[in-house]
Every structure is written in structure tokens, then in C-alpha cells.
């Protein structure tokens, strides 16, 4: 019997790629359709409650009333959204720049951890609403106090998650690196940082929602623009529909920023997404 005949008679393993691609497409479709369905149900319940209980739009405007308020001046409202968006993104980025190095120091030394953790806990426990007026006194009514407020709210989750991630590296990998005489920088870049990324993104996704809240808190206290300022102004003029427009725009901003981080995590850490899908 020839070699070609033997090869032809061997069983052929089924190609799993089409099945895997179909599963990936189903997961992608579900990840888009289910959030859209959830939001649609929320709006339906909102609208049904307003109509079913005959609630005055002064107390609770319907989605149609909110859309009408937005349609009256969309350019102005989007400009206010952009102001709050910039404050949120700038403060969030600054919190990462400050928080990740501090978390690295804490993870590398028990002495530094014991020195800094009480201070970090005290800063995190301080009521941010009480700090906001002080920031206005110290920094004025510009953008700076809003950015600082965002940093104060985002800082602790980023530090905590990054520290936990940096300490999650299996001990056998660290021992292997030391046996190969790797430098501390090489150990950090090759082992600790890759193992920490999944936890880091947990902290980032927690912090991004807090970032929007921080910007709005600061705008409540002292601002002349932004969605928080718009909510205060609409409350003083009893324009509930306009306040709901600002709230909906803030919600959309939070959703967009969160899913942008989730997409970045999926691109940078595909193994983490596949492991969660297998569970």
C-alpha cells in the first residue's frame, strides 16, 4: 500500500473554524442587541408609567417631552455635553497618570503601602460634595476644579485595582525570572504588568462612571457651562424636561466611555474575553 493511500485513509479532523466564527458572530450580535433591548425596555417602562399613572410632565416628563426639549436647541446642549466630556476625560487620564505609578510603588514595598494607604483611605472617605466648594475657592470657576474633582473620585479605584493586579502574578513566574537573573524592570515588564492588566481594566471601568459623577458634582457648585450647570439652571427655572435631557446625555456619555474601555480591553486582552466566554 502506497504512502498516499495510507494518508488518504486517515481520519480528517473536522474544521472548527466555521463553528468558532459563528459563535463569535452570535456573541457580537448579542453584546449589541441585548443592551439596546434593555435600554428600549427602560424607556418603554418610563413612558408607560407616565401615561398609565397620568403623571404631570412637571414632575416626570415622558421620553417624548425630553426629546422635544432637546430638539429646541440641540447645538447648545451638545456644546454643554462636550464641556463635561472634556472635563471627564482629562480628569480620568490624569487619575491614571498619577494612580498607576503610586500603585506600582505600593505593590513593590510594604513600607510604602503602610505609609500611603491611610492617606489614600482618608482622601477617598472625604465627602466630595464638601470638597467641591473648597476647590472653587482655591482654583476659581474654570475647568481646573472640575478636573481635580474627577481625579479625586477616580484615583482610589485605579490604585486599588492596579495594586491588586500587580500582586496577582504567580510566584513561580517571579522565581523563574529571578533564576534567569532578570532585572526588576524586566520582571515588571514581562510578568507583573501583563498579569495586572485584567485587574487594571476592572479599576478603569469602575472609575470611568465615577469620573462623570465627579465632573457633574463640581459643575453643581461653581460653573457657567456644562451639563451639571444646566441641571442646576433648569431646576431653578422649574424646567424638568431640560433637566432630564441633561441626565440622559450624561447617561449616554457614561455608556459610551464604559464601552470604549471595554472595547480597548478586548483588543489588548483577547485571552481574558475568551476565558470569560468559556465560563
Q: Is residue 236 part of a domain?
A: yes
pLDDT tens, position by position, 23-43: 667 776 777 788 888 888 988
- Express each pLDDT in 175-219 by its tens digit: 777 777 777 777 777 878 888 888 999 999 999 989 999 999 999
Q: How many domains does the chain have?
A: 1
CB 228 within 8 A of CB 220: yes
- Cα–Cα–Cα angle for 165, 171, 174, nearest 5°? 90
Residue 50 located in a structural domain? no
Question: In angstroms, how far is CA 223 from the centroid of its own chain?
Answer: 24
Using one digit for the tens of pLDDT, what is the confidence trace for 211-261? 999 999 999 887 888 999 999 988 778 788 899 999 999 999 999 999 999
Range of the domain at 197: 81-278
- Residues 222 and 149 sit within 8 Å (Cβ to Cβ): no
Q: What's the sign of the alpha-carbon dihedral 54, 56, 57, 59?
A: negative
Are 199 and 169 in contact by the 8 Å Cβ rule? The answer is no
Rounded to whole angstroms, how far apart are CA atoms 11 and 232? 72
Strands (E), 147-269: none
Tell me whether residue 15 is in a domain: no
Residue 57 lies in a domain: no
CATH number of domain containing 249: 1.10.3720.10
Neighbours of 29 (CB within 10 A): 10
Q: Kindly state whether residue 3 falls inside one of the protein's structural domains.
A: no
Amino acid at each position: 500500500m502506497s504512502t498516499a493511500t495510507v494518508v488518504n485513509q486517515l481520519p480528517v479532523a473536522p474544521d472548527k473554524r466555521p463553528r468558532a466564527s459563528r459563535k463569535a458572530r452570535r456573541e457580537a450580535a448579542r453584546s449589541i442587541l441585548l443592551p439596546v433591548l434593555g435600554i428600549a425596555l427602560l424607556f418603554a417602562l418610563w413612558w408607560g408609567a407616565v401615561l398609565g399613572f397620568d403623571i404631570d410632565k412637571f414632575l416626570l416628563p415622558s421620553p417624548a417631552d425630553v426629546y422635544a426639549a432637546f430638539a429646541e436647541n440641540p447645538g447648545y446642549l451638545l456644546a454643554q455635553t462636550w464641556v463635561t466630556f472634556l472635563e471627564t476625560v482629562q480628569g480620568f487620564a490624569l487619575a491614571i497618570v498619577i494612580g498607576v505609578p503610586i500603585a506600582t510603588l505600593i505593590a513593590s514595598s510594604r513600607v510604602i503601602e503602610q505609609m500611603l494607604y491611610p492617606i489614600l483611605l482618608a482622601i477617598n472617605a472625604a465627602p466630595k460634595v464638601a470638597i467641591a466648594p473648597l476647590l472653587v475657592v482655591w482654583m476659581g470657576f474654570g475647568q481646573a476644579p472640575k478636573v481635580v474633582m474627577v481625579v479625586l473620585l477616580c484615583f482610589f479605584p485605579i490604585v486599588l485595582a492596579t495594586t491588586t493586579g500587580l500582586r496577582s502574578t504567580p510566584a513561580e513566574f517571579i522565581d523563574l525570572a529571578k533564576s534567569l537573573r532578570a532585572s526588576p524592570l524586566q520582571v515588571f515588564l514581562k510578568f507583573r504588568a501583563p498579569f495586572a492588566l485584567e485587574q487594571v481594566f476592572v479599576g478603569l471601568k469602575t472609575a470611568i462612571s465615577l469620573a462623570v459623577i465627579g465632573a457633574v458634582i463640581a459643575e453643581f457648585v461653581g460653573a457657567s457651562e456644562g451639563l451639571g450647570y444646566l441641571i442646576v439652571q433648569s431646576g431653578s427655572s422649574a424646567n424638568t424636561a431640560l433637566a432630564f435631557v441633561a441626565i440622559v446625555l450624561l447617561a449616554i456619555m457614561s455608556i459610551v466611555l464604559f464601552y470604549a474601555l471595554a472595547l480597548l480591553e478586548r483588543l489588548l486582552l483577547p485571552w481574558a474575553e475568551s476565558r470569560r466566554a468559556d465560563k
